[in-house]
Amino acid sequence: MEKKRFLSGDRPTGRLHIGHYIGSLQNRIKMQNSGEYEPYILIADVQALTDNFNNPEKVRKNVLEVAMDYLSCGIDPNKSTIYIQSLIPEVAELTVFYSNLVTIARLERNPTVKTEIAQKRELFGESVTYGFLGYPVSQAADITAFEAELIPVGEDQLPLIEQCREIVRKFNSIYGETLVEPKAVLSKSPRIKGLDGNVKMGKSLGNALYLSDDLDTIKEKVMGAVTDPERIKKDDPGNPDVCMVYYYHKLFSNEDTCRNVCEECKAGKRGCVACKKQLIEEINSALSPIREKRHYYEERPKEVMDILMAGTENARKVAKQTMVKVKKAMKLDY
């Protein structure tokens, strides 16, 4: 049976945090290891430049950082094709073609883009760049260049996948059935909240736990996590449903621990400090093997780059095949 192709990736603007890991990376790894799929894992350095155009060194450095996070989490280069976006010129070419198929008004209505623009007012002021506003078009090119059927993403990315589907339908209606219309695949935890209670964990929000954080960093961040603001004293009954420490216990602790945390919090039998200390142990236990594997790759950057170059070479072969179909459909096969 022919394997279904899936594509997913991240912008290299910093190390990956646990929101990436739980929200989509675990899903990618599960799909990769099932043997049912042909995985493509993208490091989207061109898209990273849309809001880091004045800091290219940051983007370049983080290409390796993100690659090491992938490898340390379990993305296997023998099973998945890991590649660098800027080294696939066919994606840039498709982006130009697709830019004729979507209006500026539609891009401005995209909920994900609207949210991100609001978060980046300090960078853009009132003048958002063409590149940032249009990055969903570039993302559509990423997906369709590899004829990906499935896209493992977090919940906040769903509007971008829908934008891609619209572009595919418009292209096929004009030029004939050529492109594959993708579907999003959500994990069981499609959106991970930040330690501060924000609905989204993010680098720019300063509320993230990173996969490479050491024990001291985890302690510092967890001890500052938001708890029930109505609980003043240790033996006051608490409300675990408004406590980020309990929220994270549900992500990292087993069912028995979560049940005990919930019951003891409500009864005022467990203080917030004790609860946080146990959570620190649970998180550190989960991240320790990832950190150890990451140390291996940190000492071998050439090995990481060789993996990326080999993956990119394989990826480009696929993108070239897609471009042949696209240009034939558009009467550009001179």
**Cβ atoms of 288 and 280 closer than 8 Å:** no
- The pLDDT of residue 195 is 87
Residue for token pair 């279904």: 4
Beta-ladder partners of 151: 184
- The pLDDT of residue 207 is 81
CATH superfamily of 4-193+300-329: HUPs (3.40.50.620)
Dump pLDDT digits (tens) for 263-278: 988 988 888 899 999 9
CA 183 to chain centre: 16
Domain boundaries, the chain: 4-193+300-329, 215-294
Nearest to 236 by CA among 264, 275, 258: 264
19 class by beta-carbon count within 10 Å (0-12 exposed, 13-18 middle, 19+ buried): buried
The H-assigned helical ranges of the chain are 18-20, 26-34, 45-48, 56-73, 89-98, 104-109, 111-119, 121-124, 130-133, 135-145, 158-175, 215-223, 244-252, 255-267, 272-298, 301-329
180: left (phi over 0), alpha (psi -120 to 50) or beta: beta
Given CATH 3.40.50.300, say whether it is the number of domain 215-294: no
Q: Does residue 25 surpass a pLDDT of 90?
A: no
- The pLDDT of residue 255 is 92
Alpha-carbon span 133 to 135, nearest angstrom: 6
How confident is residue 186, by pLDDT bands cut at 50, 70 and 90?
A: confident
Alpha-carbon span 16 to 39, nearest angstrom: 19
Q: Which residues contact 1 (CB under 8 A, 6 or more apart)?
A: none
* pTM attached to this predicted model: 0.89
Q: Does residue 43 surpass a pLDDT of 80?
A: yes
Which of 39-43, 89-93, 272-276 has the least mean pLDDT?
272-276
Question: Whole-number mean pLDDT of the chain?
Answer: 91
